[in-house]
Amino acid sequence: NAGVMQNPRHLVRRRGQEARLRCSPMKGHSHVYWYRQLPEEGLKFMVYLQKENIIDESGMPKERFSAEFPKEGPSILRIQQVVRGDSAAYFCASSPPGLAEAFFGQGTRLTVV
Amino acid sequence: AQSVTQPDIHITVSEGASLELRCNYSYGATPYLFWYVQSPGQGLQLLLKYFSGDTLVQGIKGFEAEFKRSQSSFNLRKPSVHWSDAAEYFCAVGAGNRDDKIIFGKGTRLHILP
């Protein structure tokens, strides 16, 4: 059973471009979390999704950021018109039905130049 | 709202010494509690978790944690650390309610002296 797969592992974007981060959950997992990590700040919750449903997006910036978890395919975290402050490591985690435990991917390190 | 406090940003211990990493949480109902470890450039690995039952839980790599409801704490311990334990450790709180997210503390970076 493959773990949570995130791609790309590293992503470089120029200011103003769009960044798309993908997360394939573990087989059988129905829920996905996205977190952002900056040095000395721990993991900041962004969004919590179930297939075709956003459960909690209270940590998502109001503008430029969106997330989806379609019925088929990976979860996508989309950042439009990136700025330097978006540079961070973005982690995805998945969990199975009925269990709150989260299994993490290796992260995508976004650098905005 | 849930919150997690890890009061120590950095901790340094000598190899072979005992370790305790502190974690305090705030949650309105019975919490689910977790400790994760992160090596540089890697994702997070679950060390142990508490959902219910025995308040002393055993995890991987020789770690254990004790849930103390009266103190809202879930401290991580290891009797004798190894150089390979140098990493960042995160405490997290969630809930059995599937609509509740998992919230992480800011982490404690553990340094090991030879």
The predicted-structure confidence for B14-57, as pLDDT tens digits, reads as follows 999 999 999 999 987 778 999 999 998 888 999 999 988 889 99
Model pLDDT, residue B97: 66
Model pLDDT, residue A20: 98
The predicted-structure confidence for B51-97, as pLDDT tens digits, reads as follows 888 899 999 999 999 999 999 999 999 999 999 999 999 999 987 66
CB of A18 less than 8 A from some CB of B: no
CB distance B44–A91 less than 8 Å?
A: yes
Write the burial class of residue A85 (CB in 10 Å: 0-12 exposed, 13-18 middle, 19+ buried): exposed
Model pLDDT, residue A11: 98
Contacts of A33 (CB under 8 A, 6+ apart): A45, A46, A47, A48, A49, A92, A93, A94, A95, A102, B101, B102
CB distance A42–B104 less than 8 Å?
A: yes
Query: Taking CA atoms, what residue in A is nearest to B37?
Result: A104
Instruction: Give me A45's structure tokens.
Output: 């919750």
User: Mean pLDDT, to the nearest integer, of A48-77?
Assistant: 94
Instruction: Give me B88's structure tokens.
Output: 């960042």
Model pLDDT, residue B2: 82
Gap from B65 CA to chain A (nearest CA, Å): 16
